[in-house]
Amino acid sequence: MICSDAFKATGDAMAEIQGAPGYRYLTTPHPVAGLTSEQVRERAEAVAGEVARLLSE
Amino acid sequence: MTTDPDPDVARAAIEYCYEQGWTDGLPVVPVSQALLDQFLAHTNRDPGQVLWRMEHLGRECTVQTAAINAAMAGCLPEYFPIVLAAWDAVMRDRAAKGGGWQSTSGPAPLIVVNGPIRHELGINCTGGIFAAGFRPNATVPRALGLMLRNAFGVAPHVFDQTTQGIPGRWAICFGENEEESPWEPLATEMGLEPEVNAVSCTLTRTYEFVDNRHTQNPEHLLNDFADTISRTGVMIFRAQSAGIVFCPEHAQMLADAGFAKADVKDWLIEHSGRVEADLRRVGKDAVSEGGLGGRSAGEAERVPGDVFTPFLPGRQSVPIVVAGARNAAISMVFRVFGEWSNSSVEIEAAPVAAVKGG
């Protein structure tokens, strides 16, 4: 899972309430809503390595 | 023999409630079992009945939990059927069911009461409907806020993701000024019988006044409303919903000119919106018709700059109610968060024993 970093507190709380405290997920800098398609691609490329590492752990 | 209440004992109980995290920042009324029983006596519903369950949070609100929070909010027991009806009414909104309570916009429930119960319980319908000073107006919406906080755990900074929110978020409740309205009451328009006690409720994003005591021309007045409704800052999607709380003077002026409520809606639907060049100037020309996505500025010109985009898709997007005093020609435009259900909920009659004070 990836969420923008403004929502980390909510993400952590959701993980806890769903019975998975400390659940590991990735963040990307907030905001995301106004990004162009190219900027979204850049974000994806920036986080892709971490996604692969998290999934393989 | 009665004795005066002990303020220090009362304060200690209030502080206890603060320590538990049960308050919205203001003091709450500490609730005894006896007080809770009085609230439960004003409904035929089972205390264990689940009003709503938020599956993703694993939390629910029962009739009993609602009663506790209504009591803490400062409601009288006889307000409890209104609290229940308000909750049922707002939860007919797709947005409220779909996570709207946790929205970054921090929407406020707008609660409108129709019927004789307005006068029986002293619900303000005239001067100062958006101001403080009347117990049911202040405490019924606060009850909903406390239910969100205490039953569902939707509190600021965690599950309540509000960015700034709306001033008076848990304080917007009034009766329609049926006596000075030239039009049918809101609940009657929504299909309930006249004189039925009813609540209409939707989530709202903001309130903007229209002060126009300058013209006797109904189209001038409607243009002033259309100008406010057409503000680009409120635009997220092309299709929006904007309602009006008309003061009696504005409503009567329009009615005297032959405008039924539906005519006002149709006029505003036709005239509220912006041309493409205006949307492009504020980076909103790529805004989609609905749903998520399409929020970024357009990268290429989609349509000519003089193409007009109407903002209001239909009459269901323009709720109209009449409230406030005749003191001046000042009305309020409000923005619906998503789309109102366009329905009103009948307020359940309290059991006879409760009405008799039993």
The mean of the pLDDT values for chain B is 94
Pairing outcome for strands B198-211 and B330-336:
antiparallel
- Domain coordinates in residue numbering, chain B: 8-272+311-355
Task: Output the six-digit token pair for A39.
Answer: 């900027």
The mean of the pLDDT values for chain A is 90
How confident is the model over B164-212, as pLDDT tens digits?
999 999 999 999 999 999 999 999 999 999 999 999 999 999 999 999 9
Least confident of A2-11, A36-45, B15-24, B296-305: B296-305
Q: How close is the nearest chain B Cα to the Cα of A9, in Å? A: 6
Cα–Cα distances (Å) from B100 to B174, B221, B339, in that order, read 22, 33, 11
The one-letter code for the residue type at A10 is T
By Cβ distance, the residue of B57, B158, B296 closest to A35 is B296
Residue B59 confidence (pLDDT) above 90: yes
Residue B129 confidence (pLDDT) above 70: yes
Q: What percent of chain B has pLDDT over 90?
A: 88
Cα(B287)–Cα(B239) distance, rounded to whole angstroms? 10
Task: Output the six-digit token pair for B339.
Answer: 């789309």
Give the range of the structural domain holding residue A37, as residue numbers without chain letter: 2-56
Residue B284 confidence (pLDDT) above 60: yes
By Cβ distance, the residue of B58, B161, B295 closest to A33 is B295
DSSP character for B50?
E
pLDDT (average), residues A37-53? 91
Residue B294 confidence (pLDDT) above 90: no
Residue A4 confidence (pLDDT) above 50: yes
Q: Which helix (H) or strand (E) holds A47?
A: helix A37-56
Residue B1's pLDDT is what? 58
Task: Output the six-digit token pair for B125.
Answer: 């319908």
Q: CB distance B296–A14 less than 8 Å?
A: no
DSSP three-state, residue B74 = coil
**In chain B, which residues touch A (CB < 8 A)?**
56-58, 153, 157-159, 161, 295-297, 299
By Cβ distance, the residue of B158, B295, B299 closest to A13 is B158
Q: CB distance B159–A13 less than 8 Å?
A: yes
Residue B308's pLDDT is what? 94
Q: How close is the nearest chain B Cα to the Cα of A33, in Å? A: 7
Band (pLDDT 50/70/90 cuts) for residue A33 is confident
Q: How far apart are the first and last CA of chain A?
A: 14
Least confident of A35-49, B33-47, B218-232, B329-343: A35-49
DSSP three-state, residue B199 = strand
Residue B12 confidence (pLDDT) above 90: yes
Q: CB distance B161–A36 less than 8 Å?
A: no
What's the domain count of chain A? Answer: 1
Residue B79 confidence (pLDDT) above 60: yes
How confident is the model over B305-324, as pLDDT tens digits?
999 999 999 999 999 999 99
Residue B298's pLDDT is what? 56
User: Which residues does chain B have within 8 Å of residue A7's beta carbon, measured at their own beta carbons?
Assistant: 161
Residue B3's pLDDT is what? 83
Most distant CA pair in chain A, distance: 37
Q: How close is the nearest chain B Cα to the Cα of A11, in Å? A: 8
Residue B87 confidence (pLDDT) above 50: yes
Residue B358's pLDDT is what? 47
Band (pLDDT 50/70/90 cuts) for residue B74 is very high
Q: Which helix (H) or strand (E) holds B60?
A: strand B59-62
Q: How close is the nearest chain B Cα to the Cα of A4, in Å? A: 13
